């Protein structure tokens, strides 16, 4: 199985564009962030590339993740789309290229796009490759086809209200890294009484408690923010160690509340 060390904290860029995104990246890099997560679908790769170019942190110190959209999964088109992403990001290769969503209705066979992803790594377009939004069964399939041995992560929605335990366990059992998107449930964690109470105990915010919980479960997180105080707080959250009873209390908040559920999504576990 391929192995890669993903930085534990990344900067998410979903829904950020233009000056707000540029400012967010510069503040994050100033604070010590070294992992930026973008995607073709976010339509902001050019700004991410420009922001990294304009900052004095050496490019090879920043771990850059992008994702290939599901309309570019045919072999040659996948490679072409990733070349376009690399050009927009102003790099020779991304550190991690993910399949953003499995092909809806299996329109493109999985062995074709997983094989293409492995070819992208061979050709030097991506240093590491992985998937996103794959169910347990889809992950098992992906790992079994030629090229599947190159996969290093499955990026899925995980937060206190969607612990996604079956998928998380399957990813970790397979020796891959779990990357969580929407780790703060688009801000909903801030209003939760349990998380707020735990925040008082640890002299932290509810958001920091949620991130600490994920970090303690060996899950990589990439929350997004344009505010320096929040960026700093997100970073500090990784230094919090929660007691096991408190970890269990957060786990018990699960209500299978899924936020990202487009009409082309797979049948979730």
Spatial distance between the Cα atoms of 150 and 114, rounded to a whole number of angstroms? 9
**How many whole angstroms separate alpha carbon 183 and alpha carbon 191?**
14
Q: Locate the domains of the chain by residue range.
A: 11-182
Contacts of 24 (CB under 8 A, 6+ apart): 11, 13, 16, 224, 225, 226, 231
Which residues, in sequence order, are CB contacts of 87 under 8 Å at separation 6+?
A: none
Q: Mark 90-101 as b/e (b = at least 16 C-beta within 10 Å).
A: ebebbbbbbbbb
Give me the count of residues in the chain: 269
Q: Is the dihedral of CA 173, 3, 223, 140 positive or negative?
A: negative
Give CA 94 to chain center in angstroms. 14
**CA separation, residue 159 to residues 33, 145, 186, 204, 220 (Å):** 21, 30, 10, 17, 12
> Exactly one of 33, 42, 113, 181 is catalytic; which is it?
42
* pLDDT (tens digit per residue) in 98-128: 999 999 999 999 999 999 999 999 999 999 9
pLDDT score recorded for residue 3: 64
Active site residue 42: yes
* CATH class of this structure's domain 11-182: alpha beta
Whether the Cβ atoms of residue 72 and residue 108 lie closer than 8 Å to each other: no
**31-40 residue pLDDT tens:** 999 999 999 9
Residue-level pLDDT, tens digit, the chain, 269 residues: 456 789 999 999 999 999 999 999 999 999 999 999 999 999 999 999 999 999 999 999 999 999 999 999 999 999 999 999 999 999 999 999 999 999 999 999 999 999 999 999 999 999 999 999 999 999 999 999 999 999 999 999 999 999 999 999 999 999 999 999 999 999 999 999 999 999 999 999 999 999 999 999 999 999 999 999 999 999 999 999 999 999 999 999 999 999 999 999 999 99
């Amino acid at each position: 199985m391929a192995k890669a060390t993903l930085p534990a904290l990344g900067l998410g860029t979903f829904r950020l564009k233009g000056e707000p995104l540029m400012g967010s990246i510069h503040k994050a890099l100033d604070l010590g962030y070294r992992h930026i997560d973008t995607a073709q679908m976010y339509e902001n790769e050019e700004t991410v590339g420009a922001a990294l170019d304009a900052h004095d942190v050496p490019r090879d110190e920043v771990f850059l993740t992008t994702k290939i959209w599901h309309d570019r999964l045919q072999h040659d088109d996948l490679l072409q789309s990733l070349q376009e992403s690399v050009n927009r990001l102003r790099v020779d290769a991304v550190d991690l290229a993910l399949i953003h969503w499995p092909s809806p209705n299996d329109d493109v066979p999985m062995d074709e796009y997983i094989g293409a992803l492995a070819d992208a790594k061979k050709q030097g377009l991506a240093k590491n490759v992985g998937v996103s939004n794959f169910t347990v069964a889809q992950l098992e399939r992906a790992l079994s086809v030629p090229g599947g041995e190159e996969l290093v992560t499955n990026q899925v929605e995980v937060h206190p209200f969607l612990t996604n335990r079956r998928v998380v366990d399957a990813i970790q059992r397979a020796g891959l890294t779990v990357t969580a998107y929407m780790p703060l449930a688009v801000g909903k964690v801030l209003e939760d009484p349990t998380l707020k109470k735990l925040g008082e105990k640890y002299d932290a915010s509810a958001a920091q408690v949620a991130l600490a919980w994920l970090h303690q479960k060996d899950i990589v997180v990439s929350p997004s923010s344009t505010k320096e105080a929040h960026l700093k707080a997100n970073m500090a959250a990784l230094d919090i160690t929660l007691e096991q009873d408190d970890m269990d209390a957060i786990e018990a908040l699960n209500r299978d509340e899924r936020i990202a559920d487009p009409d082309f999504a797979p049948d979730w576990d």
